[in-house]
Amino acid sequence: MSIRLLAALLSCLPLVVRADGFADVATPLLAKYCYDCHGEKKQKGGIEVHQLDSADAALRHHRFLANIAEQVELGDMPPDDEDLLPSDAERAALVDEIRSVLKKLETGDFPRNPGRTTVRRLNRNEYNHTVRDLFGITFQPGRDFPSDGAGGEGFDNVGDALFVHPGLMEKYLAASKKVVAAIYDDPKHLDRVLVARPSDQTPPDRAARTTLLTHASLAFRRRVTDDDLAPMLGLFAKHLTAGDSYEESMRIPLQSLLVNPSFLFRIEADQEGKSEWPVDDFELATRLSYFLWASMPDRQLLRLADLGKLSDPATLRAEALRMIADPRAETLGRHFAGQWLGFDDLREVAEPDTTRFPEFTPTLRVAMYRESVDFFNHLIQANRPATELIQSDYTFANGELAKLYDIGGVTGPELRKVALTDPNRGGVIGQAAILTATSLPLRTSPVRRGKWILDTLLGTPPPPPPPDAGVLPPDDKSTEGLSFRETLEIHRTKASCAGCHEKIDPLGFGLENFDAIGRWRTVDANGKPVDSLATLPGDITFSNPAELKKLLLSSDELFLRNLSRKMLGYALGRPLEYYDEAVVTDLVTRLRADDLKMQSLVLAVVESPPFRNRSSSR
């Protein structure tokens, strides 16, 4: 099947949905032919379909419907070795019902819902950035916090996955002490933090109130009440009465700011009696700043929120553009793109064997990572087309990375924009950070790279491997004279593996000229010429990354929908639901209307109903 045909299938040809045709037609067919392997008692390949008992249930469990339709239509499911197989008419009826549900998703032919984000704590990155912007701290006080798991669309800012681990409060307390100690160790820094001091006209309690009100308004990201200040002022008065100086009496109140739930958690208020409502201006400011900066709103945002002006569409758009231009927006490259595209794994997870690849130095690792960050941020800052993620005629490199890429005329440790003349290299597919992160320590992995294209770029993840799939060798050097591709071809002969591998492996084979650290090669580890010829189902062939990228761009709907879906999920900090698919369609429409410019997507997300509103339930 070609990429174009796959895109057509997954974007769903239209059919009119009957009131509950799914329950009448599809559910009995699923029960008859699928429940034995994918029912309540057994979920082969981790797939279960017994919950698809109505059109509403199909909408709520929509993520793998397109894959079911494809497998059924092609005859891959149920497999030929089953005793009971559906007729052609039954296959067509099931596929039609699935596609009718998917069409509803695209058109939004159901009640809209802005969704509801779980109360969430600041993740480790957000904590570090927020403390930096609040008190000017340059180190990372949250370095010792437990790592944050990914949730929703695969990001670590999702409330459902941001658990409060045992002992985390002790970590918060220890971090708050480090932050305040750093402030007090620098007299100039302390002067900036203590914005008011006692004088003949200003008694100590009034100076303390002014200082704490200033920082609490920023830290809590809202208006601060007397009830908020009372505990901190009580701590101040206790220490002052005990004989401590004004400065020392402020130490514990400042520290208490950093362990206050209003600082650690992003809390949005419900509105009783309403099913949905616009978030207030302070909540909108917080959503905007943690989306674009992974940090707290600055004074300008909070001032506009306090005046009730931020929710004005023109003001909101202007503020988003201002924030995109701010250096703090580089967190979109680091945290959004790094997690979505997977190059964040290069920092700690990927470990190429340095005996096999001595060129992979610590400084090269950093340059690889920064190339991908700077490249993505350039797309947004310069408002470049989203398709340049797939193919571009430039990248960002320093001398060491340029040497790996065989690009002349680039020296020194600083990354800068460089022109590319090799069409195989441009775009994220040709970036060493991603090529290394999708390899093993001793070899490339066509399977990982092919899965990365299907899942990460196109949003069409293949099913997990069966339990008996076996393990491929960790090294591509063969004592039997076989190339790794030949070894993989043997593995693919297993009936349980062949179906998925025929879609995954060709995409990875097309990248085999890139070795395990992203360097171009013409011979493999065994001294044999690299065989990068790939044939996709449908007899679509290509033999290098440049040709693969042309195929991907020839039908870009899947890529654009996935990019839009990921950015929306990151901005909302929650799993996307079926009712968000119509929003994704709107985002893609906005992108196409403005020549695919990346800032259009960011603005469309900020202006979307789920970003500006909240519901009483999911």
Nearest to 338 by CA among 323, 322, 349: 349
pLDDT tens readout for residues 453-466: 999 999 988 877 76
Burial status of residue 91 (CB atoms within 10 A of its CB: 0-12, 13-18, 19 or more): buried
CA atoms within 13 A of residue 587's CA, in its CB half-sphere: 32
Answer yes or no: is pLDDT of 115 > 50. yes
Q: Which residue, 554, 586, 610, sits at the end of a domain?
A: 554
pLDDT of residue 16: 35
**Judgement on whether residues 397 and 463 belong to the same structural domain of the protein:** yes
Dihedral-angle region of residue 166 (phi above 0 means left; psi in -120 to 50 means alpha; beta otherwise) = beta
**Judgement on whether residues 103 and 135 belong to the same structural domain of the protein:** no
pLDDT of residue 194: 97
b/e per residue 366-396 (b: at least 16 CB within 10 A): bbbbbbbbbbbbbbbbebbbbbbbbbbeebb
**Judgement on whether residues 462 and 366 belong to the same structural domain of the protein:** yes
Which of 176-185, 475-484, 506-515 is the least confident region?
475-484
Confidence of residue 71 (pLDDT cuts 50, 70, 90): confident
What is the number of other CB atoms lying within 10 angstroms of the CB of residue 475? 15
Is 237 part of any domain? yes
Which of 389-398, 427-436, 490-499, 524-533 is the least confident region?
490-499
Alpha-carbon gap, residue 568 to 611, rounded angstroms: 8
Alpha-carbon gap, residue 613 to 116, rounded angstroms: 9
Alpha-carbon gap, residue 286 to 297, rounded angstroms: 6
Alpha-carbon gap, residue 460 to 4, rounded angstroms: 13
**Judgement on whether residues 482 and 361 belong to the same structural domain of the protein:** yes
pLDDT tens readout for residues 209-234: 999 999 999 999 999 999 999 999 99
Q: What average pLDDT does the segment 363-383 reach?
A: 98
Q: What average pLDDT does the segment 52-78 reach?
A: 82
pLDDT tens readout for residues 561-580: 999 999 999 999 999 999 99
Q: Which residue, 39, 74, 107, sits at the end of a domain?
A: 107
Confidence of residue 358 (pLDDT cuts 50, 70, 90): very high
pLDDT of residue 482: 72
Confidence of residue 501 (pLDDT cuts 50, 70, 90): confident
**Judgement on whether residues 167 and 56 belong to the same structural domain of the protein:** no
One-letter amino acid for residue 610 of the chain: P
pLDDT of residue 166: 83
Answer yes or no: is pLDDT of 554 > 50. yes
Answer yes or no: is pLDDT of 44 > 80. no
pLDDT of residue 494: 65
Angle ∠(388,612,593) on CA atoms, nearest 5: 35
* Residue 349 neighbours by CB under 8 Å, 6+ apart: 437
Answer yes or no: is pLDDT of 285 > 60. yes
Answer yes or no: is pLDDT of 17 > 50. no
**Judgement on whether residues 60 and 176 belong to the same structural domain of the protein:** no
Is 323 part of any domain? no
pLDDT of residue 499: 63
Nearest to 435 by CA among 417, 448, 422: 448
Confidence of residue 316 (pLDDT cuts 50, 70, 90): very high
Query: Is 484 in contact with 443 (CB distance < 8 Å)?
Result: yes
Answer yes or no: is pLDDT of 470 > 70. no
Q: What percent of the chain has pLDDT over 90?
A: 68
**Judgement on whether residues 126 and 101 belong to the same structural domain of the protein:** no
How many domains are contained in the chain? 3
Is 69 part of any domain? yes
Q: What rounded mean pLDDT belongs to the chain?
A: 90
Is 235 part of any domain? yes
Q: Which residue, 507, 527, 554, sits at the end of a domain?
A: 554
DSSP type of residue 407: -
Nearest to 511 by CA among 399, 431, 572: 431
Q: Which two tokens stand for residue 336?
A: 């959004």
pLDDT tens readout for residues 321-346: 999 999 999 999 999 999 999 999 99
Answer yes or no: is pLDDT of 3 > 50. no
**Judgement on whether residues 449 and 506 belong to the same structural domain of the protein:** yes
Q: What average pLDDT does the segment 431-451 reach?
A: 96
Output the pTM of the full model.
0.90
Alpha-carbon gap, residue 229 to 216, rounded angstroms: 8
Confidence of residue 469 (pLDDT cuts 50, 70, 90): low
How many residues make up the chain in this entry? 618
Is 112 part of any domain? no
Answer yes or no: is pLDDT of 280 > 90. yes
* Residue 166 neighbours by CB under 8 Å, 6+ apart: none
Q: What average pLDDT does the segment 2-20 reach?
A: 41
Is 550 part of any domain? yes
pLDDT of residue 571: 98
Q: Which of 1-5, 115-119, 534-538 has the highest mean pLDDT?
A: 115-119
b/e per residue 299-336 (b: at least 16 CB within 10 A): eebbebbeeeebbeeeebeebbeebbeeebbbbbbbbb
pLDDT tens readout for residues 153-168: 999 999 888 988 888 9
**Judgement on whether residues 210 and 102 belong to the same structural domain of the protein:** no
Is 59 part of any domain? yes
Answer yes or no: is pLDDT of 4 > 50. no
**Judgement on whether residues 367 and 496 belong to the same structural domain of the protein:** yes
Answer yes or no: is pLDDT of 538 > 90. no
User: Which residue range(s) make up the domain with 365?
Assistant: 335-382+391-554
**Judgement on whether residues 167 and 65 belong to the same structural domain of the protein:** no
pLDDT of residue 491: 64
Confidence of residue 15 (pLDDT cuts 50, 70, 90): very low
Dihedral-angle region of residue 479 (phi above 0 means left; psi in -120 to 50 means alpha; beta otherwise) = alpha
Alpha-carbon gap, residue 355 to 75, rounded angstroms: 47
**Judgement on whether residues 492 and 549 belong to the same structural domain of the protein:** yes
Q: What average pLDDT does the segment 508-517 reach?
A: 95
Dihedral-angle region of residue 417 (phi above 0 means left; psi in -120 to 50 means alpha; beta otherwise) = beta
* Residue 591 neighbours by CB under 8 Å, 6+ apart: 386, 560, 564, 597, 600, 601, 604
Is 330 part of any domain? no
List, as one string, the DSSP characters of 341-373.
Answer: HSTTHHHHT----TTT-TT--HHHHHHHHHHHH
Alpha-carbon gap, residue 529 to 485, rounded angstroms: 11
Confidence of residue 60 (pLDDT cuts 50, 70, 90): confident
Alpha-carbon gap, residue 238 to 231, rounded angstroms: 11
pLDDT of residue 76: 75
